[in-house]
Amino acid sequence: MKKTLVAATLASLAFSGGIASAQERICGTDIAIQHLIANNPQLESAYTQYEADVKQRTAALEAQNTNAAQKTTATYNVPVVFHVVLSQAQIDEIGGVSGIYDRIASQIDVLNTCYTGQNYNTDKGKILTQFQPLFGNPNITFGIAHTDPNGGGTTGVEIKIAPATFTGFDVTDNNIKKSSGGGFTTWDTKYVNIWITHITTASNGGQVLGYAYNPGLAQSMGDASLAGVVIDYLAFGRRSSIRQKFFGTADKGKTLVHELGHYFTLKHIWGDLPVGGGTCDKTQPHSDDDVADTPPQKDANQSTCPSGVKPNCTNSPGGEMYMNYMDYVQDACMVMFSKGQVTRMQTEFTPAGGSYQLQFNGGTLNWPTGISAVEAKNTFDIVPNPSNGVFSINFANTTADLRAVTVVNMMGQSVKQINTTEPANSLLIDMKGMPAGVYTVNCRFDEGIVTKKIVIE
């Protein structure tokens, strides 16, 4: 007799811990680059040259965009790979492996909302009237890669359990990007590489939440494998329950929105001088963001949530654009890129840009064709298919090592996950109410993943 498990969504698990105490948020991007330059002063000129190139290419694209016929209207579909390096205790802190997948799904959702400007109506009230016409839509969508650089199938998520003594990776420590250093080796820059780990506390006691290397800059500074974003596991994903542990107010997925801004060449809105060292003299090096429509700003608005007009360097109408993703305000309060920032990011997708290759790698969002050994051994059928939302996964053999079933939509977002350790011949999945379309069902076994498509009508 076949045993059937009725699946239940794991909306939230038993999380231990509460909200981390409110401390200052720190972005490590400038720290990481300055550390590289300090160790190798020759890189200063490479950095300066690269910045000048980006500025010039952005100006060229801006000029092109003023000619309506040539205006960039492309949407860029970007494949992402997540490399997770955490101790078992840290993984347990965020709800185990399924907690990691939940945060990834929520994070992808936040990215796709912010990078297509879909938050405008909800967040308009947080944008001063003067800045509303400057709200930009980058038109970039993110999905989880399912074909790896060798053509093999992948969940797009690599997880490594660090030793119990693991204290984190320092912002200047690139071992996270090396398998030999205890991390995961960078895939090529046809993917956006994102490492989720713990970043050690900064010398001033603040928490570095994330840092990024732009791919073109990494290459021009002599190490293309640095390209990508490293993010602290407690600043990753969007809160869905009060019991989840996050770092202070960094619980709405905006740290990665900010860091990917750097990945696509954006600077902090006040420039790239250290926080507390900013200046209103925009003729000084590193004291501007090289974007024309973001008003001159002296320094960061750190971990605050300002309201009303906050006078800026030139007392321009509207004052500081503190609601910009490239400031340091609380997650809930950063809600926009400017149009000028969007042009600078889109320059990255032109032939000389560091992310040019990304747009041709959208095929890796799909699973590869062909049958693997694990698939042959663990084959299953989905009945009925097409389905009205309720369907059964029937395994050809009783499963011995099935760990999880994940249903992923066309955007690469996980919409359903069931964890299991019990042997089963079939699983009943209820997805009533989900939008019609093609979904991917991933059955994760110890030895690999078997995947099939399901059509929901």
Please provide residue 270's backbone torsions phi and psi, each rounded to the nearest 5 degrees.
Answer: -95, 0
> 150, 146, 191: which is closest to 357 by C-alpha?
191
Task: For residue 294, state whether it binds Zn ion (rule: CB under 5 A).
Answer: no
Query: 93, 259, 320, 375: which is the annotated catalytic residue?
Result: 259
> 236, 258, 428, 247: which is closest to 335 by C-alpha?
258
Segment interacting with Zn ion, rule: CB under 5 A, options 26-34, 77-85, 348-356, 419-427? 26-34
Q: How far is the CB of 260 from Zn ion (least distance, A)?
A: 10
Task: For residue 33, state whether it binds Zn ion (rule: CB under 5 A).
Answer: no
Q: How far is the CB of 268 from Zn ion (least distance, A)?
A: 5
Please provide residue 450's backbone torsions phi and psi, each rounded to the nearest 5 degrees.
Answer: -115, 135
Task: For residue 29, state whether it binds Zn ion (rule: CB under 5 A).
Answer: yes
Question: For Zn ion, which is the closer residue by CB, 146 or 258?
Answer: 258
Task: For residue 297, state whether it binds Zn ion (rule: CB under 5 A).
Answer: no
**Sequence-separated (6 or more) residues with CB below 8 Å from residue 33:** 47, 213, 217, 221, 272
Task: For residue 324, state whether it binds Zn ion (rule: CB under 5 A).
Answer: no
Question: For Zn ion, which is the closer residue by CB, 27 or 313?
Answer: 27
Residue from 26, 27, 218, 441 that binds Zn ion (CB under 5 A)? 27
β partners of residue 267:
none
Q: How many residues belong to the chain?
A: 457
Please provide residue 25's backbone torsions phi and psi, each rounded to the nearest 5 degrees.
Answer: -90, 145
Segment interacting with Zn ion, rule: CB under 5 A, options 21-29, 73-81, 156-164, 437-445? 21-29
Question: For Zn ion, which is the closer residue by CB, 29 or 366?
Answer: 29
> 363, 382, 358: which is closest to 440 by C-alpha?
382
Task: For residue 393, state whether it binds Zn ion (rule: CB under 5 A).
Answer: no
Is 44 catalytic? The answer is no
β partners of residue 192:
80
Task: For residue 456, state whether it binds Zn ion (rule: CB under 5 A).
Answer: no
Give the 3-state secondary structure of 321-342. CCCECCCCCCHHHCCECEHHHH
Count of residues in contact with Zn ion, rule CB under 5 A: 2
Question: For Zn ion, which is the closer residue by CB, 29 or 186?
Answer: 29
Task: Decide the pairing of beta strands 192-197 and 228-232.
Answer: parallel
The catalytic residue positions are 259
Applying CB under 5 A, which residues contact Zn ion?
27, 29
